[in-house]
Amino acid sequence: MAAKAGTGPKTRTRTTTERRAFERLGLYTAADFVVHLPLRYEDETHVTPVAQALPGQWGLFEGEITDSQSHYQPRRELQATLQDPTGRLNLRWLHVYSGQQARVSAGRRVRARGEVRAGYRGLEIIHPLLTEPDGALPDTLTPIYPTTQGLPQASLRRAISHALNEADLSDTLPPAIRTHYDLAEFAPSLRLLHHPTPDISLELLARHEHPAWRRIKFDEILAQQLALAQARAVRRAQRAWPLAADSPLVNRLMDSLPFSPTNAQQRAVGQIRADLAQPHPMHRLLQGDVGSGKTLVAALAVAQALAAGVQVAVMAPTEILAEQLWRKLSEWLEPLGETPVWLAGNMAAGARREALKAIATGQARLAVGTQALIQDKVVFDRLGLVISDEQHRFGVNQRLALNRKGDQSGLHPHQLSMSATPIPRTLAMAFFADMDVSVLDEMPPGRSPVQTRLFDDRRREDVLTHVARAVRDGEQAYWVCPLVEESEALQLQTAVDTWEHLCQSLPDLRIGLMHGRLPHQEKSSTMQAFRAGQLDVLVSTTVVEVGVDVPNASLMIIEHAERFGLAQLHQLRGRVGRGPRPSICVLLYQSPLSAIARERLRAMFETSDGFEIARRDLAQRGPGELLGLRQSGQALLRFADLNTDGGLLDQAREAAVWMTRDYPDQAQAHQKRWMAGAAQYLRI
């Protein structure tokens, strides 16, 4: 058989392809390579007698080839038998290239390694790797690294071994800190993880529980905490408009409310009030489960800022949400003489020009809208406070843009971010540690808990009957349509189909349809009709997911609930249970359910506590997805796992303070070693 054209001898220098592959793995400098750690190991330190070969286990065998032949069945396949004093093992190649058969001609001695499996002629290894039998065996385990297409393990191993000799592996932790937290030394830990000796427990290594792993995880978290501490220090050095805490407008707003704030709201308002009075920018995250009343807290912050004479920008990730904020803020602030201007992406050119002008001259004091508010073209006169709702849904770039947004004065605005995705403590500390956090852990009074019911799609008729009855009693319902990830158009179609089907099945009900492709005007009027009780049922795509507030709606039906993520289901369910009426959330699912979908639906059934839901979501999906950081392409923590390494996080956080204060040089060196690529994402 002829050699394949173009496969000449391999070169040993680093090729462009190889360099690109390294870059895809984030490997640029020697420091990057040395912390590219193995996923697992293979034990080539000793030869296993063939008699001890076990299916499913990896092994290195040595013996004589007793038989070698190629068949066509129907493709060409090569088969050989390796024999040692204890038994025989089959070796099989499904693709045969030239010269290969000669390497396993009968009578040769070889070493063969690979995973043993039960073949139909006895134990076999498919595509074993062959080596000459006379070479010395390594005395450490062979690392298997995370790799990428076209990058063989051998190249990675070579590059990493090289880097281990080149890189500065000096310990960035002062002995006092190492001793205090009982941490292993850096260089030996690293060397051990790359090349463990065979006596080390593979089990401990695999679970990242070996002391060497503990040291590396600690270092990783510490670097992150140092970066956050630094971001905080930078912010402390920035200047902002100090907004006087004592303001008649705030008091008038308080007095005009039809209810009194909950204790949690008062606490958050107090914290924000104090922050705003400072001459450096506030970065505060207001966390509260859906319906906990974040908008009021925001409104009080707005009032304080307006009273102090600065401008305020309030924005939300979607137009529906932004409009709702605008409505609420108008309702509360207009009677006090403050009228918000509206700014969104698809306004008529004239209206937009006017809004921009009013913002630039400072005539508009409160601007509410979408991301359009932080585009470069928007210039503020004296921007003192930026509030963003559902902040985690903004993309990374938008959040960076927001941070750069200043005004003509050169001072930095205070920032209040609000999120209804309750972020578990460990995660908040890891990702938002440069923000202060206020939590609304109490619901306004008069809410009734939402009952969650699971229905197989085959019982859809029962659900329809229930909806019809509830509507006759004056209730209103959301009917949310499945998420179709592959295609927005398809999602739209299902919403339209569902709407038509409902209109046919329940002809005497008033049924509205809402989806992202509708012109803004239509979305807005549909939403308003639903809010005013002129619609009984609102069929919708997930555009109602966050923030929509219609207290009279007490029924939520979610189609294909199995397709939604946990956080999303929780958000959707949070649209009901906002009034005095007992509310019901029906999760319609299509069987059979995958294990993970069943887990999610069970979680929804078992708990309505947003923090518990977030904890389970984190366990299922990992932090990147939960925070929408997936698109950043940077998993911020590669080795530590926030689910299980909470204790380590506490220690690293404490150590970060200690190092910043007592060992600033080492702190800087440490951060440099770990944070090359990830740092910018931590400053958002």
The binding site for ligand ADP (CB under 6 A) comprises 259, 261-262, 265, 288, 290-296, 420, 444, 547, 549, 551, 578
Gyration radius from the chain CA atoms: 31
Interface with Mg ion includes 547 (CB under 5 A)? Answer: yes
Nearest approach, Cβ of 43 to ligand ADP (angstroms)? 55
In the complex, what is the shortest distance from the CB of residue 569 to ligand ADP, in angstroms, rounded to a whole number? Answer: 16
Q: How far is the CB of 446 from Mg ion (least distance, A)?
A: 18
What's the token pair of residue 73? 């069945």
CB of 528 vs ligand ADP, minimal distance in Å: 15
The answer to the question of residue 422 lying near Mg ion (CB under 5 A) is: no
Residue 648 near residue 224, CB atoms below 8 Å: no
Which of the choices Mg ion, ligand ADP, none does residue 288 contact, using the CB cut-off of 5 to 8 A by kind?
Answer: ligand ADP
Burial of 661 (0-12, 13-18, 19+ CB in 10 A): exposed
Cβ partners under 8 Å of residue 393, min gap 6:
317, 546, 628
Q: How far is the CB of 300 from Mg ion (least distance, A)?
A: 14
Burial of 313 (0-12, 13-18, 19+ CB in 10 A): buried
Site residues for Mg ion, 114-153, by CB under 5 A, read none
- Give dist(CA 375, CA 359) in Å, integer: 13
Q: How far is the CB of 325 from ligand ADP (least distance, A)?
A: 9
Q: Which is nearer to ligand ADP, 37 or 440 (CB)?
A: 440
Q: Which residue is nearest to Mg ion (CB)?
A: 547
Distance of alpha carbon 525 from alpha carbon 517, whole angstroms: 14
Evaluate the omega torsion of the peptide bond into residue 128 and state whether it is cis, within 30 degrees of 0. Answer: no
Distances in Å between the Cα of 347 and the Cα atoms of 1, 328, 374, 389 are 69, 20, 15, 21
How near is the Cβ of 396 to ligand ADP at its closest, in Å?
Answer: 23
| Residue labelled with tokens 């001459």 | 279
For residue 669, CA distances in Å to 162, 173, 363, 659, 683 come to 22, 10, 49, 11, 19
Nearer to ligand ADP by C-beta: 264 or 463?
Answer: 264
Which of ligand ADP, Mg ion, none lies near 292, with the C-beta cut-off 5 to 8 A by kind? ligand ADP
Backbone φ and ψ for 590, nearest 5 degrees, come out as -105, 125
If the CB atoms of residues 27 and 386 are measured against Mg ion, the closer one turns out to be 386
Span from 156-164, 197-205, 362-370, 540-548 in contact with Mg ion (CB under 5 A): 540-548
Nearest residue (CB) to Mg ion, 422 versus 547: 547
Residue with tokens 């839901």: 613
- CB of 272 vs ligand ADP, minimal distance in Å: 15
**Partner interacting with residue 671 (select from ligand ADP, Mg ion, none; CB below 5-8 Å by kind):** none
Smaller CB separation from Mg ion, 299 or 637? 299
| Paired tokens of 98 | 């030239």
| Residue 579 contact among Mg ion, ligand ADP, none, beta carbon within 5 to 8 Å by kind | none
Minimum Å gap between C-beta 573 and ligand ADP is 12
- Going by the DSSP 8-state scheme, the letter that residue 639 receives in this structure is S
- Taking a C-beta distance cutoff of 8 angstroms, is the pair 538, 478 a contact? yes
Rank residues 27 and 298 by Cβ distance to Mg ion and give the closer one.
Answer: 298
Q: Does 340 bind Mg ion (CB under 5 A)?
A: no
- Which does residue 155 touch among Mg ion, ligand ADP, none (CB within 5 to 8 A, set by kind)? none
Nearer to Mg ion by C-beta: 440 or 640?
440
Beta-bridge partner residues of 119? 122
420 vs 649 by CB, closer to ligand ADP: 420
In the complex, the residues that contact Mg ion under the rule CB under 5 A are 547
